[in-house]
Amino acid sequence: MFRPAEQVLVNCSVYDGVGDTVLPDHAVWTDPDGMIRAVGPVDDVLAEARGVTVVDLGGGYLMPGLTNMHVHLSLGLPGHFGDEVHRSDQAELVLLMADSARRTLHAGITTARLVGESRYADFALRKAIERGAVDGPRIFTAGHALCCTGGHGWDADALEADGADGFRKLTRQQIRAGADLIKVCISGGIAGQHEAIDTPQLLDDEMAAVIQVAHDWGRKVTAHAGPADSIRRAVELGLDCVEHGYELTDDVTKLMAAHGTWYVPTIVVSRCEQFFRDSGVPGWLMDRALSAGPRHWESLQLAIANGVPIAMGSDMPPHAGYDETTATVRELEFMVDAGMSVADALKSATVRPAQWLGADDRLGTVQEGRHADLIVLRDDPTKSISALRTLHLVMKGGVVYRDDTNVTRRFAR
């Protein structure tokens, strides 16, 4: 296991995730436990950190590592990726996921929320990352997604149940396995051949059973959901978060805002034609995804306008190439294009996910007492979200995992 280095990062401007502007001529002191010991004007920090190694960041912009809130490390879409996952044995599956985790971390995502994986391999991977045996982001995972018999995701390793008792049991099984949250599929979606996006799939008592058990055990529930009516019913029952929301309405987004129900739009999945072609997905899936795009875009705009709390998630592999950047960065650019301010977009990928995850006391900001999960850019992210395309350094827990310019080569993993 590579130990974090004690160091003071200087010659940088800091976007701390708290304010909306950068703090020029600041320094960040990371300690041997991988935590941030101090942040402040460079002279003040250096005066306190006498004798500590100084690392010159060359005038870069330092900010919190990104959090992607909709990740599948064992992506099971019909096509090349899904075939590879389904024909793998357990060991091969974990290695596939470990490779995706490493690529995700190198793309600047230091925390990932997994929302449906295969064969409980995510729990083994989480443990390996925590021990330092595998490179990857911090993982918060739902384990398997839950669906009704034949419901969305049944052929991608979602677990099937029917009736309130069946869903109570599955929810408890995920919690027993170590789930940090629960993912339930309450409607059809893009990747189910024998369903439509607006197919309702859970009854109220089934949704209520999942939500009640999860809340009783201190877990939040997020739902794969497309149509407005299914979402409305789930929000009224206490749902914590909506994934995709392909067909939101003005009334439903206002209801979500009033209830404090979060939204992870995954807007890239309805406009990523080249990714679908490269993945070899069947034509019906690509046609359905792309045809959902205009209505999906309208849903995102309504959520932004009506003040729904939004967190960034890509659904596409976070590191996947998209328009000469990654799916994660492209998702954020789309969110700004849809009307979100740059400041809100940055927070949707840093401090706000940490809040939803109940981890904002240790993640999501560049502040004393937080984990030293940091990225460095060449350009100012508060001026343009596309500055994230200039990412060149990634640190997690005080350990450098990517450094394109070799300024930290003495400490890099």
Tell me the three-class secondary structure of the chain, residue by residue.
CCCCCCEEEEEEEECCCCCCCCEEEEEEEECCCCEEEEEEEHHHHHHHCCCCEEEEEEEEEEEECEEEEEECCCCCCCCHHHHHHHHCCHHHHHHHHHHHHHHHHHCCEEEEEECCCCCCHHHHHHHHHHHCCCCCCEEEECCCCEEECCCCCHHHCCEEECHHHHHHHHHHHHHHHCCCEEEEECECCCCCCCCCCCCECCCHHHHHHHHHHHHHCCCEEEEEEEEHHHHHHHHHCCCCEEEEEEECCHHHHHHHHHHCCEEECCHHHHCCHHHHHHHCCCHHHHHHHHHCHHHHHHHHHHHHHCCCCECCCCCCCCCCEECCEEHHHHHHHHHHHCCCCHHHHHHHCCHHHHHHCCCCCCCCCCCCCCECCEEEECCCCCCCHHHHHHEEEEEECCEEEEECCCCCCCCEC
What residues does 28 pair with on adjacent strands?
Answer: 9, 39
Name the residue range of residue 24's domain.
7-65+365-403
Tokens coding 272: 């990523």
- The torsion of the CA quartet 79, 84, 85, 89, rounded to 10 degrees, works out to 150
Tokens coding 214: 């999860």
Quick one: pLDDT at residue 280? 87
Quick one: pLDDT at residue 118? 93
| pLDDT bracket for residue 357 (50, 70, 90) | very high
Tokens coding 299: 């849903």
Is 207 contained in some domain?
yes
Same domain for 51 and 86: no
Same domain for 176 and 150: yes
What CATH number did the domain enclosing 209 receive? 3.20.20.140
In the predicted model, what is the mean pLDDT of the chain? Answer: 95
Q: Is the pTM of this model over 0.95?
A: yes
Is 47 contained in some domain?
yes
Same domain for 223 and 74: yes
Is 95 contained in some domain?
yes
Average pLDDT over residues 119-123: 96
What length is written for the chain? 413
Is 411 contained in some domain?
no
Same domain for 47 and 70: no
Same domain for 294 and 260: yes
| pLDDT bracket for residue 1 (50, 70, 90) | very low
Same domain for 341 and 258: yes
Quick one: pLDDT at residue 96? 94
Same domain for 375 and 265: no
Is 389 contained in some domain?
yes
Is 413 contained in some domain?
no
Quick one: pLDDT at residue 412? 56
Same domain for 215 and 140: yes
Same domain for 237 and 193: yes
Same domain for 392 and 370: yes
Quick one: pLDDT at residue 410? 62
- pLDDT tens per residue, range 312-339: 999 999 999 999 999 999 999 999 999 9
- Name residue 97's amino acid: M
Tokens coding 364: 């999501």
Tokens coding 375: 């990225």
Is 409 contained in some domain?
no
Question: What is the rounded distance in angstroms from the CA atom of residue 13 to the CA atom of residue 379?
Answer: 10
Same domain for 118 and 24: no
| pLDDT bracket for residue 86 (50, 70, 90) | confident
- pLDDT tens per residue, range 4-57: 889 999 999 999 999 999 999 999 999 999 999 999 999 999 999 999 999 999
Quick one: pLDDT at residue 413? 58
Cβ 123 vs Cβ 96: under 8 Å: no
- Count of the separate structural domains present in the chain: 2
Question: On the CB side of 288, how many CA atoms lie within 13 Å of its CA?
Answer: 18
Is 2 contained in some domain?
no
